[in-house]
Amino acid sequence: MDNKNPFQVRMLDPVPTKPSFDMNRLLKWLLISAFVVAAVGVGFFLFSRSSFSPGNVDFKINAPEEISSGEKVVYSIEYRNNNEKTIKDLHLTFFYPPDAVDIRDGRLEALQTESMKLDDLAPGEENKIEFSAYLVGSRGDTKKARAVLSFYGEGIPSVFKKETSAATDISSLAVSLTLVAPPNAVSGQEVTYLLDYRNESSDDLSDLRFKFTYPSGFIPTKFFPNTFSVKDVLDLKKIKSGEGDRISITGILQGGEKDAKTISVTLQRKIDNVYIDFEKSSADTVISTPPLSVQIMVNERSDYNAQLGDELEYKIKFINNTDVDIFGLTLMAKLEGLMFDFSSVGGNGFFSSSTRTITWNASVSPLLNHLAPRQEGAVSFRVKIKNSFSSGGTGVKDYTVKTSVLAETQTIPPGFDLDRLSAESELITKIISLPSIVQKGFQNDQSFGASGPIPPRVGQKTSYTISWEIVNIPNDVSKARVSGTLPAGVQWENQTRVNGQQPAITFDSSSREVVWPLETIPAGTGGQFPKYQSWFLISFTPSENNLGQAIKLIQDTFLEGQDGFTRQDILVRVGDVSTNDLADFPGSGNVTE
């Protein structure tokens, strides 16, 4: 206040008021707090991580770099924790090399993987675990083992994994194996496999055996030495150091053109009364195009299915597949099967009824005398199938007939190391099963009795029984079904009967179809086994416009199914039945007043 002016008024400071709520400041405060917390967490995590690194976990497999085939290998897996924290929840998975085996509980076991949980590992602590297996292979093979270790660092939620591997080379074979197979062979040709073996180790070896695996289509006939315990196993008590020998196996090899046929041998050694694989070897033979081939067709097909009474027209083609001439061929066809009617054999070959063989030579076809390179020729013959299934086949099902053909010559073309040149083929023809069905109508039948006048009269109802009877001798019939249709005016009386345990007959009023759903008719039905029989009752009341006429009672009756042997569909139709076709009153079906 100015003292010189006693009347000067002093302005008072405004009274402070309560500040309003500041949302922006609150949001800033919350963001800063969250950042501080996150920074602290990250810092703590980084601090924890700084004292732990998966790189400070040592993990390796110790295994020999080289072995001899069949040797037992011990894999030593070592792991060490060089961190300042404990590693926890350790899991180890070990992957054996391919074809690794071991003897466990007195049995030979193929080994693939082992998985296990390991104890925690404190800072600076180390441990190891061992696995063992016998390894077999050829010289130069590399056998690789692999291991995976997963673990957690103490206080760290992340899982870590480390992987390591070790390779072992098979550098030597205690016993050298040389298996030789002909590189090429014609199907049906005799071949010889040779196995040379020698103990190249410095020790005598005992309790050995060779186990051969033959290719499909090979039939062994001769062995050297002849001490094979079975056709594919040769036991050896002892092989002295530096000694060896030869094994030969001869047989017939068959296969398709260009098929690769592999023979393999495994040398096994007895350890703890169990034979384990010691060494292996294999060799291939390719089936080459035969110099001479024959082909058979019947009725222009190779998959023809015959029926009773069929005439079969066989055509046999012979082909020179070489670039040289073939001379002096003889061709023979042998017929086998109960269902051939041998009295019907015809053609230009000579048929021997005693051997049931047809023979052709140069007098029939000049091409059999001289077949030029890549040239082909053909002969033919015909024969019938019997009209009924043979009584000599009682109890037989799945009937077939077979024709086997052999073409050969003793005149061997230059460049072929053969005793004779020949070609063979065969064709098996299946015979379709045609079951028979008989449909009959009765007025007076023991199943349902008789009702109504005979002949039928206008305005009066007469009932009729329809019966179905099935015989099936040779082959099973599957998906079997009998069906027939009731014409308009014929009434379904809903009375049925079947023999045995057959399914019941049904009627569909909308389609007017009567159905017997059999599913399967076994071979021998009506022979070894009872016939299949069924009956059902129908009726008809004639009107004036039916006067003087016979009434059709059932029509379009079929037996259908599939031959269980040939897989061919079957359809057998039977004739319709009218009131004039009754089994007990034939010709008495015209309607009267």
pLDDT in tens, 13-46: 444 444 444 556 655 655 655 554 444 343 444 4
Which tokens go with 367? 């091409």
Domain membership of residue 586 (yes or no) is no
Residues 387 and 508 in one domain: no
Q: Give pLDDT, residue 290.
A: 85
Rounded Cα distance between 26 and 40, Å, is 21
Indicate whether 284 and 297 sit together in one domain: no
The tally of domains found in the chain comes to 4
Residue where one domain finishes, among candidates 111, 142, 172? 172
Cβ-Cβ contacts under 8 Å for 205 (sequence gap 6 or more) = 174, 175, 199, 238, 239, 269
State residue 555's pLDDT score: 97
Is there a single domain that holds both residue 316 and residue 426?
yes
Under 8 Å CB-to-CB from 293, ≥6 apart: which residues?
318, 319, 321, 423, 425
Q: Examine the domain organization and report whether 454 and 424 are in the same domain.
A: no
What per-residue confidence (pLDDT) applies to 273? 86
CATH of the domain at 482: 2.60.40.1170
User: Are 171 and 66 a contacting pair, CB within 8 Å?
Assistant: yes
Q: What is the pTM of this model?
A: 0.56
Establish if 584 belongs to a structural domain. Answer: no
Shared domain for 194 and 296, answered yes or no, is: no
Do 494 and 551 reside in the same domain of the chain? yes
* 212 is a domain residue: yes
Q: Domain for residue 7, yes or no?
A: no
Task: Examine residue 279 and state whether it is found in any structural domain, yes or no.
Answer: yes
* Core vs surface per residue 405-422: b (16+ CB within 10 A) or e: bbbebeeebeeeeeeebb
**Cβ neighbours of residue 317 closer than 8 Å, sequence gap 6 or more:** 294, 295, 296, 297, 376, 377, 378
Shared domain for 494 and 564, answered yes or no, is: yes
Note the pLDDT of residue 570: 92
CATH code where residue 215 lies:
2.60.40.10
3-state secondary structure of 546: helix
pLDDT tens string, the chain, 593 residues long: the values are 444 444 343 444 444 444 444 556 655 655 655 554 444 343 444 444 447 899 999 999 999 999 988 889 999 999 999 999 999 999 999 999 998 989 888 888 889 999 999 999 999 999 999 999 999 887 888 999 999 999 999 989 889 999 999 999 998 888 989 999 999 888 878 899 999 999 988 889 999 999 999 999 999 999 999 889 889 999 998 999 999 999 999 999 988 888 999 999 999 988 888 888 888 899 999 998 888 999 999 999 999 999 999 999 999 999 999 889 999 999 999 999 999 999 999 999 999 999 999 999 998 899 999 999 999 999 999 999 999 876 544 556 778 999 999 999 988 887 776 777 888 899 999 998 789 999 999 998 877 888 999 999 999 999 999 999 999 988 899 999 999 999 999 999 999 999 988 999 999 999 999 999 998 999 889 888 999 999 999 999 999 999 999 999 999 999 999 998 888 899 999 999 999 999 999 999 999 98
Same domain, 545 and 421: no
524: containing domain? 436-578
Task: Give yes or no: residues 168 and 187 share one domain.
Answer: no
What are the start-end ranges of the H helices in 259-333?
none
Residue type, 340: F
Do residues 214 and 198 touch, judged by C-beta distance below 8 A?
no
pLDDT of residue 104: 87
Q: Is residue 531 part of a domain?
A: yes
Report yes or no: 551 and 460 within 8 Å, Cβ to Cβ.
no
Per-residue model confidence as pLDDT tens digits over 77-95: 999 999 999 999 999 999 9
Residue 304's CB is within 10 A of a number of other CB atoms, namely 16
> Is position 11 within any domain?
no
pLDDT for 29 equals 56
The reply to whether 400 and 486 lie within a common domain is no
Give the DSSP H or E segment for 264.
Answer: strand 260-271
Residue 116 inside a domain? The answer is: yes
Same domain? 498 vs 542: yes
Same domain, 545 and 419: no
Annotate 176-232 with three-state secondary structure. EEEEECCCEEECCEEEEEEEEEEECCCCCEEEEEEEEECCCCEEEEEEECCCCCECC
CATH of residue 420: 2.60.40.1530
The residue among 172, 198, 230 that closes a domain is 172
Kindly state the helix (H) or strand (E) to which residue 143 belongs, with its residue range.
Answer: strand 142-153
Domain boundary among 288, 319, 351: 288
